[in-house]
Structure formats: C-alpha cells, structure tokens
C-alpha cells in the first residue's frame, strides 16, 4: 500500500527535531470533507487536514470532524478542541513553510 508523508506540528511546538514527519498508509479509517483520520502505530488515531496533523486521539473523533466540515462550533466541551484544531492547522502551515514542506489541500 502506498505511504503518505504528513507533518506533525506538535513536534515543532515541543521543539523536537525527531518525529516531525510521519508516514501513514494512504488509506484513512475515516474521511469527511478535507479531514482524514488514520490509525497510527496501532495505538492512536491521527486526524489530518490535507497532509498536516490537526489532532491525535485514542478514538476517531467523528462528531468533531463533522462540526469542522460544517464550520459549526460544538456547544459542549468539544468547542475547545474544535478551536484548538483550527489554531493548530494554522500553526502547522507555518511549520510547513519553515521546512519547505508542500501542503496538500
């Protein structure tokens, strides 16, 4: 199966040189709009917008992704995670620019 290279902005936030990029099988376990969730390392899920990681979770965040695709902030506690994903996506684009990583939309 073909692999896809994705950028991990959280490694940049932690000022790590390692694990800035992951390779995943280019077959998501969940996909909606421009968001794709991949099973990673048989331990957790990573959700990407394009080829930029926006969240790492222990389960597929379907409801949150649905809200992101619709552009509607959840009214429950998930609103903080929703806002964080939007912020992290913008941060990930800046990280990609720093290292010359081509961002997929």
pLDDT at 41: 83
Residues 6+ apart with CB under 8 A from 8: 19, 20, 21, 22, 53
State mean pLDDT over 64-79.
92
With 0.85 as the threshold, say if the pTM is over it: yes
Residue 91 has pLDDT above 90, yes or no: yes
Q: What is the pLDDT of residues 22-38, one digit of tens each?
A: 999 889 999 999 999 99
pLDDT at 62: 95
Q: What is the 3-state secondary structure (H, E, C) of 61-93?
A: CHHHHHHHHHCCCCCCCHHHHHHHHHHHHHHHH
Residue 49: helix, strand or coil by DSSP? strand
């Amino acid at each position: 199966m073909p692999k896809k290279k994705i950028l991990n902005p959280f490694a940049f936030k932690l000022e790590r040189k390692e694990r800035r990029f992951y390779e995943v099988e280019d077959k998501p376990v969940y996909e909606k709009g421009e968001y794709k969730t991949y099973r990673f390392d048989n331990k957790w899920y990573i959700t990407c917008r394009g080829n930029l990681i926006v969240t790492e979770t222990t389960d597929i965040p379907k409801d949150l992704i649905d809200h992101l695709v619709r552009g509607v902030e959840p009214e429950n506690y998930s609103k903080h995670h929703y806002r964080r994903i939007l912020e992290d996506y913008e941060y990930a684009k800046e990280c990609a620019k720093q290292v010359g990583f081509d961002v997929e939309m």
